[in-house]
Amino acid sequence: MSEGDTGPVGKVGGTRAYTGRVISVDVDQVRFPDGSIGSLEMVRHPGASAVVPVIGDMSADPIVLLIRQYRYAAEQYLYEIPAGRLDPGESPEQCAHRELQEETGYTADQVDHLFTMYTTPGFTDEKIHLFLARGLTAGEAHREADEFVELAPMPLSAAMALIKNGEIQDAKTALALFYAAEFRIG
């Protein structure tokens, strides 16, 4: 909240409309910067972590471990980086390690924070913490019942081509790959 001429900007009241396994929905009463008050429907999410796993060395064109995951909302399989929501009391880094192992079976010697992003700040408070994982060791995946995942390792250049031709449609994946390619790999 920030202080303006008309009082503090931010939530002044509201009610919980729905509580689910993954999200909750609130109808908040909000004071806007001009002093007016209005209602906003807000999807509340505990946050998530996502990780760009790099297999082997960090050469100019390293192998990144993507997954192809069935997404009901998209009605198709999407290329993604491993990701999942934060458990209560879990740090974003712990979540990145856990999700990498659960979805791919791999563990990482090193997980470095890339950046944190809001997914859709117009209607949700969800933040995704993006990481780069190195020093991978293969193991056994432990996916949730609703996760239908295929491993899709490929050179970073091939993943970037999938973004360019529209085959990677997941925003967190495209942004994390661009960030890793520009600022952390090579």
Nearest to 125 by CA among 8, 40, 7, 38: 40
> What is the Cα–Cα distance from 170 to 172, expressed in whole angstroms?
6
Longest pairwise C-alpha distance within the chain: 58
> What is the Cα–Cα distance from 158 to 160, expressed in whole angstroms?
5
* Helices 171-183, 156-164: inter-axial angle, 10-degree rounding: 130
- The alpha helices in 41-170, defined as continuous H runs, are 92-104, 156-164
> What is the Cα–Cα distance from 143 to 105, expressed in whole angstroms?
9
* Residues across the chain: 186
Tell me, yes or no, if 147 is annotated catalytic: yes
Q: Please answer whether residues 177 and 122 qualify as being in contact, where contact means their C-beta atoms are separated by less than 8 angstroms.
A: no
Catalytic residue among 90, 93, 102, 147: 147
Query: Residue for token digits 């999407």?
Result: 78
Report the catalytic residues.
Answer: 147
